[in-house]
C-alpha cells in the first residue's frame, strides 16, 4: 500500500524574520492596523449619521473640481419646478439624461402613469365583477355565486 504525505506550509511569525524582512513585516502589519482603524471610524460615522454610502464624502475647498457632481448623482428637482436645479449650467447630454432619468423625468412620470393605470384597472374589475351583479344591474354568465 502506498502512502502520500501532503506538504505543509510553515508560516513564520513577523518576529522570526531576519533584519529587513522583519521591518517589512512590521510595516505591513502597521499599514493593516491603520486601514482597520480607518474602516472602523468610517463604519461608526455611517452608523451615527444613518448613511448607507460605502465611501465617505470628501470635504474639499470650493474649487471647480469639487463642485462637479460624482457620476450617478442626479440634480435636485423640487416639487413644482419645470427643470432641475442648475439647468442653465448643464451640457446637452446632462440635460437629456436629467429629462429622461431625473427625479421628475420621463421615467418618473411613466412609472406614475403605470401605477395609476393599474389602480384604475383593479378598481374597474372589482366594480364590474362584484359591485354590478350585487346591485342587480346585470348578471354574469357562468357565475359560480348564482
pLDDT in tens, 13-61: 555 545 666 787 888 888 889 988 998 888 888 888 875 555 545 444 4
pTM of the model as a whole: 0.43
Asked if residue 74 lies in contact with residue 103, where contact means CB atoms within 8 angstroms, the answer is: yes
Asked if residue 67 lies in contact with residue 77, where contact means CB atoms within 8 angstroms, the answer is: no
Residue 31 half-sphere exposure toward CB, CA atoms < 13 A: 6
pLDDT in tens, 45-101: 888 887 555 554 544 444 444 355 555 577 777 777 778 788 888 889 988 888 898
Which H helix or E strand runs over 132? helix 132-134
pLDDT in tens, 106-122: 999 999 999 999 999 99
Domain definitions of the chain by residue range: 17-52, 76-134
Asked if residue 107 lies in contact with residue 74, where contact means CB atoms within 8 angstroms, the answer is: no
Q: What CA–CA distance (Å, rounded) separates 146 from 139?
A: 9
Amino acid at each position: 500500500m502506498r502512502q502520500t504525505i501532503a506538504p505543509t506550509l510553515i508560516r513564520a511569525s513577523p518576529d522570526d524574520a531576519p533584519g529587513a524582512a522583519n521591518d517589512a513585516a512590521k510595516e505591513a502589519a502597521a499599514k493593516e492596523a491603520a486601514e482597520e482603524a480607518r474602516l472602523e471610524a468610517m463604519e461608526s460615522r455611517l452608523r451615527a449619521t444613518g448613511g448607507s454610502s460605502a465611501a465617505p464624502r470628501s470635504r474639499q475647498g470650493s474649487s471647480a473640481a469639487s463642485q462637479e457632481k460624482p457620476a450617478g448623482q442626479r440634480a435636485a428637482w423640487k416639487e413644482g419646478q419645470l427643470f432641475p436645479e442648475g439647468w442653465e449650467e448643464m451640457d446637452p447630454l446632462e440635460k437629456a439624461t436629467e429629462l429622461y432619468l431625473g427625479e421628475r423625468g420621463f421615467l418618473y412620470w411613466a412609472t406614475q402613469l403605470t401605477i395609476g393605470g393599474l389602480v384604475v384597472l383593479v378598481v374597474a374589475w372589482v366594480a364590474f365583477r362584484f359591485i354590478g351583479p350585487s346591485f342587480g344591474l346585470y348578471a354574469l354568465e357562468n357565475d359560480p355565486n348564482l
